Amino acid sequence: MCSLYVGVLMLMIGGILSLIFEKSEKMAGLFSIVFGAFAAFFIFSFIKIPLMTDKTITDILNMSMPIGIVRIEVDGLSAFFIMLIIVLAFIAMLYSHGYFLHFYNKGMSCGKHFFFFNILIVSMILVVSVRNAIAFLILWEIMSISSFFVMSFHHNAEDMREVAIKYIIAMHVGAFFLIVAFLIAGIEGGTFDFEGIERVMKAGGVLAQVVFFLFFIGFAFKIGLIPFHTWLPYAYPAAPGGTAALMAGVMKAVGVYCLLRIVGLSGRPEVWSGYVILAISVGSAVFGILTAISHNDVKKVLSFSSVENAGIIGIAIAAGMLGLAYDLPEMAFFGFAGALFHVLNHAIFKGLLFFGINSVYTQVYTTDMDKLGGVIKKMPMTAYLFLVGSLAIVGLPPFNGFISKFLIYNSFFIITSQKAAGLLMGVSVLTLAMLALTGALALAAFTKTFGTVFLGEPRNNKIVFKSESNAWMTFPMLVLSLMCLFIGLCPHGVTIMLRGPLKSMGVPYYEHNLETATMVSGVFLIFIFMLALVLFIKFLVLKNKKIQKAATWGCGYGAVSNKMQYTGASFSEPLTRLSKPVLSMDNNIKKPNGLFPVKALSYSVKAGDLIERLFIDKLWHAFRWLLDRFSWIQSGYTGHYLLYILLTIVAMAIAAMWRLGL
């Protein structure tokens, strides 16, 4: 356990030095990177044992009251997520240093950003390691507050401050459900150690189900499942540099870890709880990607895509729960294995995509599709790496997204060879159809995104690109893109790391069932080899021949304008028109008038969030109305405030006397 503590200490030292040397902003970033590298070395030397074996490493810390005894325990599940956190966090450190080169000497508090960035990493590592409810809640709060300060980098803008406040409110609403769940489990279980939670959950009954769904709601806020996702499309676009990738890929993963931990402590789950989570997750996947298609801001597309992928991960977890509930161990294995695999994959390709669009943002300070176009001509490296991320996120081979989705599909296919209940069979067929629909919509969404932003001609001639991204930014993108390809071609490197996490959850590990994924990746390798061979033959044939280039035939029309290409809204209009009943959109269409129209034609869409408009906004207005009824308390007179203090003291005295029986 010493190596883990040293790694955490290195991260904290790096953050403190970044704060001390805040005025020397480049030094602040370098301190974070150097000590982050040391931390990664020590943490990796520690987690390889629980990750690759069934061994659990435990340490006991005797803290002062009210925390008491804190058990630090790292098993296979914790080790898997610690690995994900430290790898993606270090890559995000490198990228952030390059990103902030564009903001140095502009009064943006880069040193403070790196300080809270490191505190965020430390809190996430410890959250997945502690087994004490009070310590967990303290670390959960530190994670929320540090991420609040990290995403508040552009705090000079009023709208960014509003987004940060909306985020911290959502996190505390989620924390409220967690506090209630821990209180009930701690009182009923007789201890605030996780053993008390396990005791309550395995006892079954109504109380166990209430506690489970309180935990689920609390963690669903962090994961981004509907209807608890409404903060997410605002927070991710507001987060600067590598922070967006860290929040979308790693903080979401921490929420998934916590949900998996509670499922593991529950033993055999109730059938209906699995179906409830499945329904919410399917809704999240379909709603997320439908809403993503309707948006023209790339960061909004990526944010709602995160809602979609949260749904896909939730579908996999629900499949695992149903497998345990129906005593179908292979379904449980594929479900939980697919969830773990997709958590890792999502962190990689979503990080790559956020890196890519933030690189574009540093050049032109916009992510609006209708203002971009032809970026591939100015930033070819960024464009091709963004394309890799796009292919990976839609699940196309030979990239990593295909493998994890393949496992999730298998979790529902496997029941066709089992004696499964009729309800489960019907629900599985419907879920497979929804997964297929989600995949097709994701392909449309990222075809629109990549094509509109990177291909074609610039839509705004006033936007000028200075140069390709600097090496600090392109290197992390290159690393993540290679990881997408490597995992897709050699999934065995990840599947061998699933043994420890699955066994720590009490799920049987069927190594032979993963051979199919390895065989599929082998087919990809053969295809790539044949493609390389064809390209090599083409090179030999054309080596000594002159190749001419000419403009594409335009049917006799040569006055081509950048206004003649698709916009993001016009590309997705057929899909958004069909899905308008479930989306919140305002269409603005200026149709042609007469045979020779004089006014310019246009089509634009202002997309929103249906759930936010129907539920969250109404709840917020009701809450504001209630608070306004008590606005008279804030009178502004000092005498009134002294009276409030006096009444509070009297009330406390009466309560103390009543408690003492006086």
How far apart CA 46 and CA 52 sit, in angstroms, is 11
Residue 69 region by backbone torsions, left for phi larger than 0, else alpha for psi between -120 and 50, else beta: beta
How far apart CA 501 and CA 507 sit, in angstroms, is 9
Relative to beta strand 57-62, strand 69-74 is antiparallel
Q: What share of the chain is helix, strand, coil (3-state, %, to 5)?
A: 75, 5, 20
171 close to 106: Cβ distance less than 8 angstroms: no
**What pLDDT sits at residue 617?**
75
**What pLDDT sits at residue 232?**
87
Planar angle of CA 397, 226, 175, nearest 5 degrees: 115
Phi, psi of 377 (to 5 degrees): -75, -25
**What pLDDT sits at residue 589?**
67
Short-list 366, 566, 356, CA closest to 464: 366
How far apart CA 215 and CA 174 sit, in angstroms, is 9
**What pLDDT sits at residue 31?**
85
294 close to 605: Cβ distance less than 8 angstroms: yes
Q: What is the pTM of this model?
A: 0.89
H/E run at residue 67: none
Residue 510 region by backbone torsions, left for phi larger than 0, else alpha for psi between -120 and 50, else beta: beta
Residue 156, CB-side half-sphere exposure with 13 Å CA sphere? 4
Sequence-distant (≥ 6) Cβ neighbours of residue 636 within 8 angstroms? none
Instruction: Give me the residue label for tokens 């890799």.
Output: 388
Instruction: Tell me the two tokens of residue 423.
Output: 């309800």
**What pLDDT sits at residue 268?**
84
Short-list 436, 609, 440, 501, CA closest to 82: 501
DSSP H helices, 394-470, are 400-413, 422-454
Instruction: Tell me the two tokens of residue 447.
Output: 């075809």
Bridge partners (DSSP) listed for residue 606? 586
Count, residues in the chain: 662
Q: pLDDT averaged over consecutive 10-residue blocks of the chain (662 residues)?
A: 87 88 76 89 88 82 75 90 93 89 69 87 93 90 90 70 85 91 87 85 85 92 89 86 87 93 87 91 91 88 92 94 87 91 94 92 85 86 93 89 89 69 82 91 92 84 77 92 90 86 84 73 79 86 78 66 74 73 66 70 70 76 79 78 87 81 64
